Amino acid sequence: MASLTEVAYYSRKSIKFGVIGIVAYIVLQAIVIFGINLYNQLYPPPPPPPTMGFGLLPRLKFSQTGGYNYNFNLQTPTRVFPQFSDRASVFYVPQQKASLFAYQQAENTASKYKFSGKGQQIGETVYQWQKRIPQALTMKIDIITGAFDYEYQWQADTSILNDKRPLTEDQVYQIAASFLRLDALNTSDIDLLKAKLTYYKASAGSLVPVLSLSEADFIKVDYFRNNIDDYQVVTYKPQDGIISMLISKSSQYDKQVISANFDHYAVNYLQPETYPLMPIATAWEQLKSGQAYIASNNGNSDQVNIRRIELAYFDPPKQQEFFQPVYVFRGDNDFIAYIPAISDSVIKK
């Protein structure tokens, strides 16, 4: 039978080696975890492939591409292409269809803007309403898409320029937002308190740009969709939003919004699919070979210096089946060109 001295001795030994074992286990575990993390950083596993749940995509449609003869120079700050991800999200655009109530919905919209009576059909899906206040105020509505044009003949109404009041930018935003809220238009992906303002003065029935709100007779308000995945949304005409209005300084409520264009349509942002992007070097070659859509150019030289290259989403004037990204090439003299960014390998032939 072991003595108390022997029991105490072996107990101390057991505790000592037990503590050493625990410490060794903790250290070994930390070394293994550190090694795994270091390996993953040095040799990261490849990301899962793009989902491509919509199948092959239709090619983005522009009004025209090509037909130019420019020599492009890469003049970005680094003199090299920026780095982009190898993929981007694509969103489905629900397509509006004709219904038995399409005309009635358009008539309800017109009535909320104080037009009465039956609309006159002026196109396959477009109806027109008109009234005088005292000059002609016209509203044209596409009964399928809901897009509309609203225009007052301000050139024939001297009170527009004679009966002016001072406006602040906040008041301009409020007038524009109130106009859109009359029909509870779907603008959930647009910040109605954030728009591009451009100032104009009337001259012989035309609009001439001016620099400040104080000297302007009219203010053009352009709304663009909010950024998607931190990428800007660009339009067919970069200076024009998908919702655009011309606001006067008239003190008469009916004459404050003298024109409006509403070309907004819904996009399903909740169920995107990812698709591979074309390498930026390939897009650059397409730009040089005449395959781009030139959205803006105020220069008159065949030499174009490209200062910035960005990834953005393209918002076409007429809805297409999918909301897709483009590469945007920006240069001197407001030169802007678009190249579809999705890889040609997943585009329908």
* One pLDDT digit (tens) per residue for the chain, 349 residues: 556 565 555 566 666 666 666 766 777 777 767 666 765 676 677 778 999 999 999 999 987 777 788 999 999 998 899 999 999 999 999 988 878 889 999 999 999 999 999 999 999 999 999 999 999 999 999 999 999 999 999 999 989 999 889 999 999 999 999 998 877 777 889 988 889 999 999 999 899 999 999 999 999 999 999 999 999 999 999 999 999 999 999 999 999 999 999 999 999 999 999 999 999 999 999 999 999 999 999 988 899 999 999 999 999 988 899 999 999 999 999 999 999 999 999 999 8
The pLDDT score that the predictor gives to residue 6 is: 57
Strand pairing report for 126-132 and 335-340: unpaired
Determine whether 310 is exposed, middle or buried from the number of CB atoms within 10 Å of its CB (0-12, 13-18, 19+).
Answer: middle
159: which strand partners?
A: none
The pLDDT score that the predictor gives to residue 33 is: 73
Q: Which of 319, 295, 256 is nearest to 58 (CA)?
A: 319
Return the number of other C-beta atoms located less than 10 Å from residue 280's C-beta: 18
Angle value at C-alpha 122, between 119 and 128, nearest 5 degrees: 35
The pLDDT score that the predictor gives to residue 187 is: 84
The pLDDT score that the predictor gives to residue 16 is: 65
The pLDDT score that the predictor gives to residue 8 is: 58
Q: Is the peptide bond before 134 cis (omega within 30 degrees of 0)?
A: yes
The pLDDT score that the predictor gives to residue 288 is: 95
The pLDDT score that the predictor gives to residue 307 is: 97
Q: How far is CA 238 from CA 16, 41, 49, 215, 241, in A?
A: 75, 41, 33, 25, 7
Helix, strand, coil percentages for the chain (3-state, nearest 5): 25, 35, 45
CB contact at 8 A, 95 and 265: no
Report CA Rg, the chain: 31
DSSP category for residue 119: P
Tokens of 95: 């397509």
Q: What is the sign, positive or negative, of the torsion defined by CA atoms of 312, 315, 321, 326?
A: negative
Tokens of 193: 């308190």
CB contact at 8 A, 223 and 192: yes
Q: Is the pTM of this model over 0.75?
A: yes
The pLDDT score that the predictor gives to residue 257 is: 96
